[in-house]
Structure 1
Amino acid sequence: MLKNLPIGATERWLLLVILLISAYLAVATDTFLTLVNLFDILNYSAVNVIFAAGLLVVLIAGGIDISFAVGASVVQYIVVTALIQMGGGNWAIGIVLSLAVGFCLGAINAALIYHFRIISIVVTIATFNLFFGFLMFLTGGVSIYNLPSWLSSRVILFEYETEIGWAEITLPVLAMVVTVAATWFLLRRLNLGRQLFAMGDNTEGARRLGINLGAMHYLAYGWLGACAGLAGLMQAHYAREVVPNALYGRELEVLAAVVLGGARLGGGRGTLLGAILGLALVSITQNGLNLLGISPYAFRMIVGFIILVAISLSNETIGLIVSRLKGPKAAGALR
């Protein structure tokens, strides 16, 4: 039945694995398939999906960025502090500031990578430490709990009372939907998206075609920065506090999910559906381990394994690997 779906081989296999894991958790636990738990997974994953949409753009363009999560934490502090100084502000001001500050942080990465010809992973490791160290030094690791009333008041889009509590869909889910739609439009409907794919697939070929590589770097990393800024604001709204290390470590699980979804670390390949399904698999696995009472360190092991496999097989896809196991003719057909 999955073979008839109009999606790629990678997405079909991810969907199959998600269904199998979900079926097992439904039998092994009493709470996995409850509406409360499923909505909790959705609300928690919304911020990660926003991250994933931005990261996918960078990976398609042939780069990599591991600084976006701490960048989101920096945006949280800058924006919330500025809003408090302004007397509170509102949603419009908060979103504009978050997008602008996030874009600027992404532009720093783009400038260092493009103008100084430094490998993206080296730059973003450096800015990861720079952003986080700067944040912790200036704040002393102190959290902000006194948020503006509009930001700390939970916006619930849908709620339903069940026997074990209220099942709620909150504002970050709407922000996730808008971000995914905007990213899809950029990648699939705009010429800029085709240029990003071209640059990631063959940088020299893209340059000879007249594509402005500098502009593409700023677009890719700025897009991720803006997504990170919005994700940071949504995380502050959902948690109703700003904690400097709350998003620390998210970059690894998001990266693992996006490459699991078929994005090639070498650039030029990736789909939003694959990234979302990859993140769904990672989130369900994390949730399942928690429900089964398994140590959270097991989840870190899984994330590390996924990244290691993705780096080792950066020029492959799940569908291609499986087809090769079936025979050389099937593999040749996929090529």
Structure 2
Amino acid sequence: MEPTERTPRTVGTARAARAERVARAQAVPAGDPGLFGPASVTWQLHSDPVMWIAGIRALYLQALHPRAVRGVMENSDFRRDAWGRLRRTADFVGTTTYGTTEAAERAGARVRAIHRKLSATDPDTGERFPVDAPDLLLWVHCAEIDSYLHVLRRSGFPLTDAQADRYIAEHRTSARLVGLDPAAVPADRAALAAYFEAVRPELAVGADARAVDDFLRRPPTHPLLVPARAVLWRRVAHLAYAALPPYAHELYGRAAPAPAVVTRRLRTTGALLRRVPAQVRWRLPPRHVLRAVARLGPETRPAPYAARR
């Protein structure tokens, strides 16, 4: 009798083939995998298009710390070069996630060198402070990681609680790159939630936070692009703002839709963005993912199913 689909021999062969595919995907690539590598949650999560919404949420959240946002306003032309700052942040995240170990370490050293030279004036006390003070670096880091994780999970990206904890722990590496002691950085969801609870009394909305809010709601653009800003950007910025925690809405003084409505909109937006083929999305500059896959092999392409595995 020849083996059919239901014979033990064929079933065993199919299982072996599946196991081999999983092993290949989880194997250490021949090239330099960088600081995170294809086996990390970070590798799969940071290629998702909803990361742009998460990045805007992070800006809204970071602006709530008076000293952190003063450091930005006093040492950069945020109002004129906000787009440049957003691009540089995205490039840093892409380099540290998908670049070689050398490129990631070099990017971190560059950021530390810049921050080491800068200081700012406290808007309330007039005290000068270094922008690389550990408490400020920790706030910026936690606001970013919380925003990335919160928006992607809420938009339908499949991650278990254990994988979410693993993602937070992985980013003690990115915290080290900007000058933090990894041991002092939250390593799971419980520690991250405790950190936000402890820092909330320090948060406030002053003139600098209002300036960030104004920019994100009405960024300067060419007159011909004003209609597109009203139709597209304003909706994205509103969704990022709506995804903030309730205490942030209270501080900004602007209400947000009900949580269930926000979740539904995030899921709809995520589903639409993910229908754009990854190869098309990844061709947009600076093409970090495509370069990483070319370096390590096609089996390392980021994908939600890989995060589940």
Q: TM-score, normalised by structure 1?
A: 0.25
